[in-house]
Amino acid sequence: MAFLSDTLARVKPSPTIAVTSKAAALKAEGRDVIGLGAGEPDFDTPEHIREAAKRAIDAGKTRYTAVDGIPELKAAICSKFLSENGLTYTPAQVSVGTGGKQILYNALMATCNPGDEVIIPAPYWVSYPDMVLLAGGTPVPVVATLETAFKITPDQLEAAITPRTKWFIFNSPSNPTGAGYSRSELKALTEVLMRHPQVWVMSDDMYEHLVFDDFTFCTPAEVEPGLYDRTLTCNGVSKAFAMTGWRIGYAAGPVSLIKAMGTIQSQSTSNPCSISQWAALEALSGPQDFLPGWRAAFQARRDLVVSMLNQAAGVTCPKPEGAFYVYPDISGVIGKATPGGTVLTNDEVFATALLEETGVAVVFGAAFGLSPNFRVSYATGDEVLREACARIQRFCASLV
């Protein structure tokens, strides 16, 4: 339609949101649906954070704030980076936006020109390539497979870099695979980046606090201080503090980039919600004693889901280091037919048939850049997960 922009023609709606909506619509029709599509914790925002928001409302903190964040929150973000990541930033190096999503979007909008390439390890979070396209850049996926536990190698990174490479987007632990890079694995990637000074690093540390067993989180600017001047370290309160609806994300990096991101934000959304900023301040500076319990709950769910999915015929499910996703390979079911007569030609057909024939909603792998796979978000109760995995097992066993 001529009315719509050329920019819109370059992108598609988020497939994860589409799956969640389809599952909700089937549920509304009375179908017995289990949604494993949504990327959000099922826990409530902790009480002390909710109380901080109520206090902010009653204290009249309900007006416009500084475009990219109140000073109190910026100071807390600087303290967080120093104490948790060993990174020194000043408040002028910090930007606060409406969710991690807006932070990443602002950074790409502020920097990408036509022809600029952005390296994105696949499987990737669905929004990275489309955000790069919206910003006028060119996404360059680098595919990591099951054989390397969904992590790219230094040789792959080296081969993908060109004189036009502007950014390398790094996300560990990853959405959708849960894969986390160890310090030595990340160090090997940063050694490649040190040889290419034109490449900036966008590190999306959204799942920093959701790591399991003895895995230790690390981030590029800390692992290789030589990258500090060209790294944007991004994070947010959505996942670690069960605050997806509050919409607060933040990043720290060089002042010139932070200022440019502020310009984009000042002409689009202005400040993130004032009340949410005060709640995020409490999240970052208040007690975090609930986190070990959440981690333990997620780890137990990961173990349950990995074990049950590996017992499904034709499914191979590696055990990830973090986040709340698994990304099983389904090569063993492609080409088979369902009892309803559908031939599973690819993972999108698999996910649609699984939803229609068993009521389990998952997101197909093609949306994340590696097939044939699907993503399970296990941020839901144990009984629900057990039932969903049992249905997947029965579905796979019924294929001919």
Ligand X SMILES: Cc1ncc(COP(=O)(O)O)c(C=O)c1O
Sole binder of ligand X in the list 93, 171, 233, 338 (CB under 6 A): 171
Sole binder of ligand X in the list 206, 221, 240, 362 (CB under 6 A): 206
Sole binder of ligand X in the list 15, 220, 249, 365 (CB under 6 A): 249
Sole binder of ligand X in the list 81, 105, 125, 298 (CB under 6 A): 125
Q: Is 99 in the site for ligand X (CB under 6 A)?
A: yes
Q: Is 178 in the site for ligand X (CB under 6 A)?
A: no
DSSP assigned state of 216: -
Alpha-helical runs (H) found in the chain: 6-10, 15-28, 47-58, 71-85, 99-111, 127-134, 154-160, 183-194, 220-223, 255-266, 274-285, 291-310, 347-358, 382-397
Residues whose CB is less than 8 angstroms from the CB of residue 245 and which lie 6 or more positions away in sequence, other chains included = none
Q: Is 236 in the site for ligand X (CB under 6 A)?
A: yes
- Nearest CA to 100 out of 292, 237, 259, 243 is that of 237
Instruction: Choose one: 93-101, 288-296, 374-382, 392-400; the region binding ligand X (CB under 6 A).
Output: 93-101
By the 8 A CB rule, do 254 and 93 touch?
yes
CB of 98 to ligand X, least distance (A): 8
CB of 299 to ligand X, least distance (A): 18
Closest to ligand X by CB, 111 vs 171, is 171
Closest to ligand X by CB, 127 vs 338, is 127
Q: Is 244 in the site for ligand X (CB under 6 A)?
A: yes
By the 8 A CB rule, do 120 and 132 touch?
yes
Q: Is 175 in the site for ligand X (CB under 6 A)?
A: yes
By the 8 A CB rule, do 274 and 241 touch?
no
Question: DSSP letter string over 116-142?
Answer: -EEEEEES--THHHHHHHHTT-EEEEE
CB of 1 to ligand X, least distance (A): 29
Q: Is 208 in the site for ligand X (CB under 6 A)?
A: no
Sole binder of ligand X in the list 22, 74, 80, 101 (CB under 6 A): 101
CA–CA distance, 131 with 14 (Å, rounded to integer): 11
Q: Is 123 in the site for ligand X (CB under 6 A)?
A: no
How many chain residues are in contact with ligand X, going by CB under 6 A? 13
Find the length of the chain. 400
Q: Is 262 in the site for ligand X (CB under 6 A)?
A: no
Residues in contact with ligand X by CB under 6 A are: 39, 99-101, 125, 171, 175, 204, 206, 236, 238, 244, 249
